[in-house]
């Protein structure tokens, strides 16, 4: 996927929200969607089961309008967290420019967080992307749950954030930390416009 | 870096606007320095205004046509995967 195209004067960024099942990926996108002004609200595509688990993925196109002469679009995707949708996750990761890893802060979910992170790394490698360098932000979600049920931010960071990337505590269900996370990954992705690896289609 | 999240209900409406402002600033800082065209060339490029009576060129097809075109393909592949 092209990040910046001087020919058509377009900037397009694909950001994927990755993480274990029920960690709050879809909730992140729903909050972003809820905050869009009416004139910018396109369609958020969600394919969910009857129990609201993401079946395939969610897709939210963010048309930011023309910025510095460039038509600028962010495409936000989530992947289905359940382990048996591995093929779908790989498909959604194609052409990704940046990843938000949404971890579930509950202590009993730590193993699922680790498994999902390993799955992310394997799928990025399969796509020919370097898991050590791709723009990545960690979000530690569900901080509104009782403290006794949660891993501390330090524990989460020590276990999951070995790259030392930006990390944010969040309560996506009421919007806390959602835009901070999005702003951070957007900045990381855009900062790569200046890198030699910035791709043009 | 991670702090416990805070949510100010009054700021709800401004979240997207703040995000847009940040992204705009980021892009503005970068695209100018990255433009592969020489600055003098870019600056000197005249704007063509059709003369009176001259037929105006039609606006090209929507720039996001490619994005939309991809969508059915992805859905097809997903359906294929579920079979």
pLDDT in tens, A118-136: 999 999 999 999 999 999 9
Q: How confident is the model at residue B62 (pLDDT cuts 50, 70, 90)?
A: very low
The whole-angstrom separation of Cα B16 and Cα B22 is: 10
Instruction: Evaluate if residue B28 carries a pLDDT over 60.
Output: yes
d(CA A102, CA A24): 7
In chain A, what residues touch B24 (CB-CB under 8 Å)?
Answer: 64, 67-68
On whether the CB atoms of residues A57 and A44 are closer than 8 A, the answer is: no
User: What does the pLDDT read at residue A41?
Assistant: 79
User: CB–CB of A2/B55 below 8 Å?
Assistant: no
Which of B19, B31, B37 is closest, CB to CB, to A68?
B31
pLDDT band, residue B72 (cuts 50/70/90): low
Best of A139, A183, A191 to disrupt the B interface (most B CBs within 10 Å) is: A183
pLDDT in tens, A40-90: 877 888 877 666 666 677 899 999 999 988 999 999 999 988 777 888 889
Residues 6+ apart with CB under 8 A from A80: A21, A53, A54, A55, A56, A57, A88, A89
pLDDT (0 to 100) of residue A5: 82
Confidence of residue B82 (pLDDT cuts 50, 70, 90): low
CB of B44 less than 8 A from some CB of A: no
CB-nearest partner of A194 from B13, B34, B74:
B34
Cα pseudo-dihedral A47, A50, A55, A59, rounded to 10: 30
- For A135-150, give the secondary structure using H, E and C: CEEEEEECCCCCHHHE
- Terminal Cα-to-Cα distance of chain B (whole angstroms): 45
Query: Tell me, what's the pLDDT at A43?
Result: 81
The model's pLDDT over A138-171, given as tens digits with 9 standing for 90+, comes to 999 999 999 999 999 999 999 999 999 999 999 9
B71 CA: distance to closest CA in chain A (Å): 10
Which residue in chain A has the smallest CA separation from B60? A8
Does A31 score more than 70 pLDDT? yes
Average pLDDT, chain B: 64
Side-chain half-sphere of A184: how many Cα atoms within 13 Å? 19
Is residue A197 classed exposed, middle or buried when 0-12, 13-18 and 19+ CB atoms within 10 A define those classes?
exposed
| pLDDT tier, A32 (very low <50, low <70, confident <90, very high otherwise) | very high
Which residues in chain A touch residue B81, judged by CB atoms under 8 angstroms apart?
87-88, 91
pLDDT at position B60 is 54
- DSSP-assigned beta bridge partners for residue A99: A16, A136
| Contact at CB, A67 and B27, closer than 8 angstroms | yes
Which helix or strand (DSSP H or E) is residue B54 part of?
A: none
Q: How far is B33 from chain A (nearest CA, A)?
A: 8
DSSP state of A198: -
Whether B7 and A167 lie within 8 Å, measured CB to CB? no
A27 vs A83, which has greater pLDDT?
A27
Describe the crossing of helices A178-191 and A25-35 by its angle, rounded to 10 degrees.
Answer: 90
* CB-CB neighbors (< 8 A) of A36 in chain B: 16
In the prediction, which pLDDT does A181 show?
Answer: 98
pLDDT at A44: 84
Mean pLDDT of the region B11-19: 78
Superfamily designation of domain A4-194: P-loop containing nucleotide triphosphate hydrolases (3.40.50.300)
Q: How far is CA A75 from CA A29, A63, A114, A164, B57, in A?
A: 11, 8, 26, 25, 31
State the pLDDT confidence band at B59, using cuts at 50, 70 and 90.
Answer: low
- Lowest mean per-residue pLDDT among A69-78, A99-108, B6-15: B6-15
Beta strand pairing call for A70-78 and A98-104: unpaired
Q: What is the pLDDT averaged over residues A5-19?
A: 91
ipTM for the assembly? 0.84
Q: Which residue on chain A is closest to B68 by alpha carbon?
A: A61
Q: For residues A28 and A17, is the Cβ–Cβ distance under 8 A?
A: yes
For range B55-69, the mean pLDDT = 50
pLDDT tops 80 at residue B12: no
């Amino acid at each position: 996927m092209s990040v910046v195209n001087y020919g058509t004067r377009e900037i397009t960024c694909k950001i994927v929200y990755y993480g274990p099942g029920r960690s709050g990926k879809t909730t992140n996108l729903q909050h972003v969607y809820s905050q869009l002004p009416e004139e910018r609200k396109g369609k958020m595509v969600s394919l969910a089961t009857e129990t609201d688990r993401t079946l395939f993925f969610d897709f939210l196109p963010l048309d930011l309008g023309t910025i510095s002469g460039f038509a600028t679009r962010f495409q936000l995707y989530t992947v289905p967290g359940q382990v048996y949708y591995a093929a779908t996750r790989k498909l959604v990761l194609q052409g990704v420019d940046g990843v938000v890893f949404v971890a579930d802060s509950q202590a009993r979910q730590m193993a699922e967080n680790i498994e999902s992170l390993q799955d992310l790394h394997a799928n990025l490698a399969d796509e020919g992307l370097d898991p050590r360098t791709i723009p990545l932000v960690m979000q530690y979600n569900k901080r509104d749950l009782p403290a006794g049920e949660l891993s501390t931010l330090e524990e989460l960071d020590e276990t999951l954030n070995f790259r030392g990337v930006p990390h944010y505590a969040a309560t996506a269900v009421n919007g806390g930390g959602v835009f901070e996370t999005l702003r951070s990954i957007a900045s990381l992705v855009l900062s790569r416009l200046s890198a030699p690896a910035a791709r043009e289609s | 870096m991670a702090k416990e999240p805070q949510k100010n209900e009054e700021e709800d409406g401004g979240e997207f606007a703040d995000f847009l402002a940040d992204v705009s600033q980021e892009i503005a800082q970068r695209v100018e320095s990255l433009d592969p065209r020489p600055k003098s060339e870019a600056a000197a490029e005249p704007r063509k205004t059709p003369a009176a009576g001259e037929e105006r060129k039609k606006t090209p097809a929507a720039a996001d046509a490619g994005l939309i075109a991809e969508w059915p393909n992805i859905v097809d592949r997903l359906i294929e995967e579920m079979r």
